[in-house]
Amino acid sequence: MRSLDGFSRGPSGQVLLATLLYCFIFSAVFIGLFQAGMAYSHKERTRRGCDLTLLSAGAVYANGLQWVRYSNVLLMLSIVGDLAVMGMAIAPFIPGFPLTVPEALIAARQADPHTRRKVQLLQSHLFGIPLPDNRKDSRAPRPIGLYPLWMEWESHHAAERNGFRRTLVNVQFFYNLPSPRKSLDCRVPDMALRFRRADELLPDEPSTLYSLVSEGKRHYFSQDQVEPAQNPRDTDQMRVRSNLPSPFAGLWVKKEVDQNPKSSDPLTHSTGIGPSTWRLLRPLLKDIILDVTHREDPPYHALSLAGRSEGTVGRHGVGFLETAGVLLEGGGLAAWDLRSPRFKVHLQRSRLTPWTRLPMDPGSPPLIPWKRWDA
């Protein structure tokens, strides 16, 4: 022991101790560097996997939107077929027009094969679109379509091929976020579609804007945000609706000059039919269900992903969290848009903010079944 003590006090011992200290420091640096390098590499793989999974899911989504165009072509053909059958039914009554109009209408109704309704039912089940039916409750849950389910299935497979494990737990897709719909609805596979009614093809009625200036700043209000001001000297005077949650509720407003002149509408311009005729036609066309179109206008098709990649760094299991989103941009979905360019998928960095701002139902399960967000 004494000799070891003596050795460590000598120059050789001092050098040996210093070398051992360096070895220890370098070992710590090595281990830290190795773990940091592994973690960095794993994080990059997770980010890449997240992006590629979303791009793949977006490709399936875009393909589905192209299918919607095809189905709308089929619908238009069925409408033409139905009209042809009805036209043949009323043909015998044409010589007696206009006296035979009631009989012709009855004959047309009886001859109507309703092929279009079958195609619409097919679209409803295929793409998960609620079929408008005035007899049913409008708050009824929307159907889950076959194609959105296929989209989810394909997306999970893409995630698996990109290195995610246990994808049902670790990979969560969110459809069309941010959404006004509640909590878990955005987790249900959805293509943001709806059926269009015939009256939507008519030109929009010119909307009126109202405004007031408060402390030098002009504030605008739409027609449904104002009410008559009950002013006996000026019956046209309007005010901000008193039950509107606005600091200006009850204040008088001024009518703005119409920004949308009637003559600017191409349909009105080409047909020469004025807005008053459109107004008469609108209630008649409201009950006619046409083709499938975007749920929102301007169209909004988005897909987001929160993915967690499991791995080990050293002896510790870690989970890397990554979020991303894709936007799909393209033209319309109507039959006449068949030759339009396909929908393009654009990748975009996504933050957790849309998830945290989701309106939650009380007592609903958490949107993401992971214990920690700070991974």
Partner 1 sequence: MAEMLLALPFILLMAGGTIHFTLLFLAKVQFEHACGEAARKYASGMLAPEGFPEAVGQGLDPFKGFFVPGSITVHDLLQNTYPNIGKKASPEEALRKVRPPRTAYPSFSTPLDYGGWHWKVKAKVLIPCSFPFLFQEGLTLSTELSILRHPKGALP
Binding site for partner 1 (CB under 8 A): 11-12, 15-16, 18-19, 22-23, 26, 29-30, 33-34, 36-38, 40-41, 44-45, 47-49, 51-52, 55-56, 58-60, 62-63, 66-67, 154, 157-158, 161-163, 338, 342-345, 347
Nearest to 162 by CA among 71, 56, 65, 241: 56
CA–CA gap between residue 72 and residue 196 (Å, rounded):
11
Which residue type is seen at 169?
V
For partner 1, the closer of residues 30 and 373 by Cβ is 30
Question: In the bound complex, what is the minimum distance in angstroms from residue 41's beta carbon to partner 1?
Answer: 5
Question: In the bound complex, what is the minimum distance in angstroms from residue 312's beta carbon to partner 1?
Answer: 16
15 burial level (CB within 10 Å; 0-12, 13-18, 19+): exposed
Question: In the bound complex, what is the minimum distance in angstroms from residue 60's beta carbon to partner 1?
Answer: 6
For partner 1, the closer of residues 17 and 213 by Cβ is 17
Question: In the bound complex, what is the minimum distance in angstroms from residue 291's beta carbon to partner 1?
Answer: 18
Question: In the bound complex, what is the minimum distance in angstroms from residue 283's beta carbon to partner 1?
Answer: 38
For partner 1, the closer of residues 66 and 237 by Cβ is 66
For partner 1, the closer of residues 56 and 179 by Cβ is 56
For partner 1, the closer of residues 28 and 84 by Cβ is 28
Question: In the bound complex, what is the minimum distance in angstroms from residue 342's beta carbon to partner 1?
Answer: 6
CA–CA gap between residue 9 and residue 198 (Å, rounded):
98
Instruction: Give me the helices (H) in the chain, please.
Output: 2-9, 11-90, 101-111, 115-127, 146-161, 167-170, 266-271, 275-285, 353-356
For partner 1, the closer of residues 84 and 149 by Cβ is 149
Q: How far is CA 7 from CA 10, 15, 21, 293, in A?
A: 5, 11, 17, 88
Label residues 336-359 b or e (16+ Cβ within 10 Å = b). Answer: ebeeeeebebeeeebeeebbeebe
